[in-house]
Amino acid sequence: MKIIVSCHCDTVFTQPYCIFRGGVLEGANDNFASIMAVGTVLTNPIWLRDSVELQLTEDEEMYMDGAKSIAKKNNSKDTLIIVMEVTEAKPGKNRLFTVENIHEIKISEIKKALQGHPYRTIKDGTESESWLYAEHGFSVLEVCVPVTGGVHNLQSKTNIKNIESVGKAIIALIEYFTDKDIASIRSED
């Protein structure tokens, strides 16, 4: 099975910025926080496998042209897509990240892959590139870095603990799913 980690670069701001200071990332965290999470684990040898790709997409806010291109170039019958995103943190929840917008993947398989990771599952989340991939028949899940202060502004914040946790989750998901075939992980819905 081929595994694609799809991470969009937000283009909605005319003057985007992020500041990383004192273990806190503040600014245009949608979607820089997710890109940074992947960056924390890029030295892992898992990325050297031919069956694993990191794809940076653009235009997620308007037409999703980057995701459309990925969907067009890949086969939904043998490709799992892990979408990187951010989500508004829920006060009082002791979770370092969420797994959302799960399509055509058994929840039990995700639980096995992320055993020991403190996360929360949300079967259907807000609209994102994962919806487009699902419409094209891909097995897809979204891993979200929680941010505070709103998602679509320049004041959102997250911390290095959340970012590193998401990076580790990506590696755990890739390691678990890399030797599986699509048919064995697909849900019955």
Strand order in the sheet with 52-57: 52-57, 2-8, 79-88, 139-147, 97-103, 119-122
The residue range of the domain holding 63 is 2-185
Q: pTM higher than 0.75, yes or no?
A: yes
What are 66's two structure tokens? 């980057």
pLDDT digits (tens, 9 = 90+) for 91-141: 666 678 999 999 999 999 999 999 999 999 987 888 899 999 999 999 999
What CATH number corresponds to the domain at position 45? 3.40.630.10
pLDDT digits (tens, 9 = 90+) for 45-65: 999 999 999 999 988 878 899
**Host H or E run for residue 24:** strand 24-27
Count structural domains, the chain. 1
